[in-house]
Amino acid sequence: MKKNVAKVLALILAVVSCIGLMSSCSAPSVAGTYTFTVDPTDVAGNSQHSAFLADAVPSQVNTLVLNEDGTYSLTKKLDEDSIHINIEFTGTYTFKDSDVTLAAPTDVIWDVDWGQFIEMGFFPGVLKGQLSKGDTGIMCGRIIQPDNSIGGGHDPKNMFLTPYYLDSEKTGTQDITVNKDSKTFTYAVEASSEDD
């Protein structure tokens, strides 16, 4: 009798384990690395730094890493001979199928080198900082007006909500769609030029 009970319990345990394994294996995952490449002509037309970017027209590549643990990193990177801009946002995400919602970032790291524009006095130098270490803004060198957010600098969290290196003046969640086959992603609502 004891042997039969033990066999039944072992069988139940095996069935429960198999169901658990099957459900975890069959659950869809969006974890992986995805890119969004911004056309060079769009960079200058969709940035508060259009005057600086109009001649250089660097390309911009946004790289999104979705981790299995529900965290993400989103990096916006512009590179040209003398201009190098790198800003990374980290936080958590949720998803349904290929639609992903990135929560507002919990941390931002930036490394901004405007090259020749530093020598012209528009920027105080290479700008590096991290929000979680107490750095509060991506500063500019010349103050155009005392209350001007461009002249006075950028809140790094406000650089999150657009595909471009652009201050959105808002914070919040970002909806994107991933393509597992091409390893690319798109923004659900792309930002328009600040001139709109």
Average pLDDT per block of 10 residues along the chain, 196 residues long: 56 50 59 94 83 80 97 95 92 96 96 87 85 84 48 78 86 94 87 43
For residue 194, tell me if it sits in a domain.
no
Q: Note whether 17 and 35 are same-domain residues.
A: no
pLDDT at 133: 93
For residue 115, which of 56, 173, 172, 34 has the smallest C-alpha distance?
Answer: 56
Domain count, the chain: 2
Same domain, 19 and 113: no
In a domain? residue 107: yes
Question: How high is the pLDDT of residue 193?
Answer: 42
Q: Which pTM was predicted? A: 0.78
Residues 133 and 174 in one domain: yes
**195 within a domain of the structure (yes/no):** no
Residue by residue, DSSP assigns the chain as: -HHHHHHHHHHHHHHHHHHHHHHHHHS----EEEEEEEPHHHHHHTSTTHHHHHHH--EEEEEEEE-TTSEEEEEEEEE-SS-EEEEEEEEEEEEETTEEEEPPPSEEEEEEE-THHHHTTSSSS-EEEEGGGT---B--SS-SSTT-HHHH-B-GGGGSSSSSS---S----EEEEEETTTTEEEESS----TT-
Q: Which domain holds residue 153?
A: 31-187
The predicted structure's pLDDT at residue 55: 72
Say yes or no: 21 and 62 in one domain: no
